[in-house]
């Protein structure tokens, strides 16, 4: 899985706020949210990009879904870097 919960994080306005750059390209200062049915989104104000994946899949934090979300995030940042 690509999510590393050992990284320092904080909470604000009901969002998870990254205090360090993420492993898939997300900047420090980005914020994210996850919903029960494996709905995920993030906003990266530094790079001015956002991404979202919405499903209706249980259980929450399904390993396949988390991997898909990480691959989507990496792909988006890779595409932006080469544009």
Q: Token pair for residue 25?
A: 């390209």
Q: Residue 1: what pLDDT?
A: 43
Give the C-alpha separation, 58 to 74, whole Å.
24
Q: Is the pLDDT of residue 4 over 70?
A: no
CA distances from residue 45 to 27, 28, 30, 51, 62 in whole angstroms, order as listed: 8, 9, 6, 12, 27
Give the number of C-alpha atoms closer than 13 A to the C-alpha of residue 63, restricted to the C-beta side. Answer: 1
The mean pLDDT of the chain is: 89
- What's the predicted TM-score (pTM) here? 0.80
Higher pLDDT, 1 or 32: 32
């Amino acid at each position: 899985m690509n999510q590393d919960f050992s990284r320092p994080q904080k909470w604000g306005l009901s969002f998870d706020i990254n205090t360090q750059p993420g492993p898939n390209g997300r900047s420090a200062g980005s914020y994210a949210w996850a919903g029960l049915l494996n709905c995920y989104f993030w906003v990266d104000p530094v790079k001015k990009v956002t991404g979202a994946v919405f499903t209706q899949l249980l259980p929450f934090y399904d390993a396949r879904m988390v991997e898909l979300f990480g691959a989507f995030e990496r792909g988006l940042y890779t595409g932006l870097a080469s544009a």
